[in-house]
Amino acid sequence: MITAETEQKLIGKNINPTSMRLLVLDLLLKQNSAISLSDIEKGLETADRITIYRTLKTFEENGLAHAIDDGTGSPKYALCLEECDANKHHDLHVHFYCTVCKETFCLPNSKIPAISLPAGFSSAELNLVVKGVCNKCPH
Protein backbone atom coordinates (compact mmCIF):
# COMPACT_ATOMS: atom_id res chain seq x y z
CA MET A 1 0.00 0.00 0.00
CA ILE A 2 1.39 3.37 -1.00
CA THR A 3 1.56 5.81 1.89
CA ALA A 4 2.03 9.54 2.29
CA GLU A 5 5.56 8.72 3.49
CA THR A 6 6.31 7.09 0.11
CA GLU A 7 5.10 10.22 -1.67
CA GLN A 8 7.21 12.40 0.66
CA LYS A 9 10.35 10.38 -0.22
CA LEU A 10 9.87 11.37 -3.85
CA ILE A 11 9.07 15.00 -3.09
CA GLY A 12 12.10 15.17 -0.75
CA LYS A 13 14.32 14.20 -3.70
CA ASN A 14 12.61 16.71 -6.03
CA ILE A 15 10.87 13.95 -7.97
CA ASN A 16 7.31 14.51 -9.15
CA PRO A 17 5.25 11.74 -7.48
CA THR A 18 3.51 10.18 -10.49
CA SER A 19 1.60 6.96 -9.99
CA MET A 20 4.33 4.91 -11.75
CA ARG A 21 7.08 6.43 -9.62
CA LEU A 22 5.08 5.71 -6.48
CA LEU A 23 4.58 2.09 -7.55
CA VAL A 24 8.28 1.56 -8.34
CA LEU A 25 9.38 3.20 -5.08
CA ASP A 26 6.88 1.14 -3.10
CA LEU A 27 8.26 -2.04 -4.71
CA LEU A 28 11.87 -1.01 -3.96
CA LEU A 29 10.97 -0.24 -0.34
CA LYS A 30 9.68 -3.80 0.10
CA GLN A 31 12.91 -5.45 -1.11
CA ASN A 32 15.55 -7.05 1.10
CA SER A 33 18.02 -7.18 -1.78
CA ALA A 34 18.69 -5.31 -5.00
CA ILE A 35 16.26 -6.06 -7.83
CA SER A 36 16.61 -6.19 -11.60
CA LEU A 37 14.53 -4.30 -14.15
CA SER A 38 12.97 -7.62 -15.21
CA ASP A 39 11.96 -8.42 -11.64
CA ILE A 40 10.46 -4.95 -11.20
CA GLU A 41 8.57 -5.45 -14.46
CA LYS A 42 7.21 -8.79 -13.15
CA GLY A 43 6.20 -7.14 -9.88
CA LEU A 44 4.32 -4.39 -11.72
CA GLU A 45 2.36 -6.38 -14.30
CA THR A 46 0.63 -3.38 -15.86
CA ALA A 47 3.78 -1.30 -16.39
CA ASP A 48 5.91 -1.26 -19.51
CA ARG A 49 9.68 -1.75 -19.41
CA ILE A 50 10.57 1.67 -20.87
CA THR A 51 8.53 3.57 -18.28
CA ILE A 52 10.08 1.54 -15.44
CA TYR A 53 13.57 2.12 -16.88
CA ARG A 54 12.97 5.87 -17.14
CA THR A 55 11.65 5.89 -13.58
CA LEU A 56 14.78 4.12 -12.32
CA LYS A 57 17.02 6.58 -14.22
CA THR A 58 15.14 9.48 -12.62
CA PHE A 59 15.64 7.87 -9.20
CA GLU A 60 19.38 7.48 -9.92
CA GLU A 61 19.77 11.06 -11.17
CA ASN A 62 18.10 12.40 -8.03
CA GLY A 63 19.98 10.25 -5.50
CA LEU A 64 17.06 8.01 -4.57
CA ALA A 65 18.37 4.72 -6.01
CA HIS A 66 21.60 3.32 -7.37
CA ALA A 67 22.39 0.69 -9.98
CA ILE A 68 24.68 -2.20 -9.13
CA ASP A 69 26.76 -4.07 -11.69
CA ASP A 70 27.09 -7.44 -9.98
CA GLY A 71 28.63 -9.20 -12.97
CA THR A 72 25.42 -10.98 -14.02
CA GLY A 73 24.94 -8.79 -17.09
CA SER A 74 21.77 -7.21 -15.71
CA PRO A 75 22.04 -4.20 -13.39
CA LYS A 76 20.25 -4.43 -10.06
CA TYR A 77 18.64 -1.47 -8.33
CA ALA A 78 18.48 -0.57 -4.64
CA LEU A 79 17.53 2.50 -2.67
CA CYS A 80 20.28 4.92 -1.70
CA LEU A 81 21.16 6.16 1.74
CA GLU A 82 19.39 9.36 2.79
CA GLU A 83 22.57 11.45 2.25
CA CYS A 84 22.60 10.86 -1.50
CA ASP A 85 21.36 13.64 -3.74
CA ALA A 86 21.31 14.76 -7.35
CA ASN A 87 24.92 16.01 -7.11
CA LYS A 88 26.56 12.95 -5.61
CA HIS A 89 25.91 9.45 -4.38
CA HIS A 90 27.44 9.12 -0.94
CA ASP A 91 26.83 5.41 -0.53
CA LEU A 92 30.08 3.91 -1.74
CA HIS A 93 29.56 0.59 -0.03
CA VAL A 94 30.36 -3.00 -0.87
CA HIS A 95 27.76 -5.15 -2.61
CA PHE A 96 27.48 -8.89 -2.11
CA TYR A 97 26.31 -11.34 -4.78
CA CYS A 98 25.20 -14.75 -3.49
CA THR A 99 26.20 -17.49 -5.90
CA VAL A 100 23.50 -19.79 -4.47
CA CYS A 101 20.30 -17.70 -4.40
CA LYS A 102 21.56 -15.21 -7.04
CA GLU A 103 20.55 -12.20 -4.93
CA THR A 104 22.60 -9.00 -4.63
CA PHE A 105 22.76 -7.21 -1.29
CA CYS A 106 23.92 -3.74 -0.28
CA LEU A 107 26.34 -3.82 2.65
CA PRO A 108 26.15 -0.17 3.75
CA ASN A 109 28.38 -0.73 6.80
CA SER A 110 31.18 -2.08 4.60
CA LYS A 111 32.64 0.97 2.91
CA ILE A 112 34.80 0.76 -0.19
CA PRO A 113 38.35 1.69 0.82
CA ALA A 114 40.05 4.67 -0.83
CA ILE A 115 41.80 3.67 -4.02
CA SER A 116 44.88 5.57 -5.09
CA LEU A 117 45.29 5.73 -8.84
CA PRO A 118 48.48 6.40 -10.78
CA ALA A 119 49.11 9.91 -12.10
CA GLY A 120 47.00 10.72 -15.13
CA PHE A 121 44.16 8.35 -14.18
CA SER A 122 40.84 9.67 -12.93
CA SER A 123 37.92 7.60 -11.72
CA ALA A 124 34.34 8.14 -12.84
CA GLU A 125 32.74 5.23 -11.03
CA LEU A 126 33.65 2.77 -8.28
CA ASN A 127 32.04 -0.62 -7.76
CA LEU A 128 33.07 -3.44 -5.43
CA VAL A 129 31.15 -6.72 -5.52
CA VAL A 130 32.02 -9.62 -3.24
CA LYS A 131 30.78 -13.01 -4.45
CA GLY A 132 30.06 -15.94 -2.18
CA VAL A 133 27.25 -17.43 -0.11
CA CYS A 134 24.87 -15.21 1.87
CA ASN A 135 23.70 -15.84 5.42
CA LYS A 136 20.33 -17.22 4.23
CA CYS A 137 21.78 -19.97 2.06
CA PRO A 138 23.39 -23.21 3.25
CA HIS A 139 27.18 -23.13 3.07
Q: What whole-number distance in Å separates Cα of residue 114 and Cα of residue 116?
A: 7
Establish whether 137 is an annotated binding residue. yes
Please indicate if the annotation marks 90 as binding a ligand.
no
Q: Distance (Å, rounded) from C-alpha 94 to C-alpha 103? A: 14
Q: Residue 28: which of 3, 54, 65 has the closest Cα?
A: 65
Question: In terms of DSSP H, where are the helices of 13-130?
Answer: 19-29, 37-43, 49-61
Was 80 annotated as part of a binding site? Answer: no
134 is in an annotated binding site: yes
**Per the annotation, does 84 bind a ligand?**
no
Is 139 within any annotated ligand binding site? no
Q: Annotated binding residues for Fe cation, as ranges?
A: 89, 91
Q: Annotated binding residues for Zn(2+), as ranges?
A: 98, 101, 134, 137
Q: Annotated binding residues, as ranges?
A: 89, 91, 98, 101, 134, 137
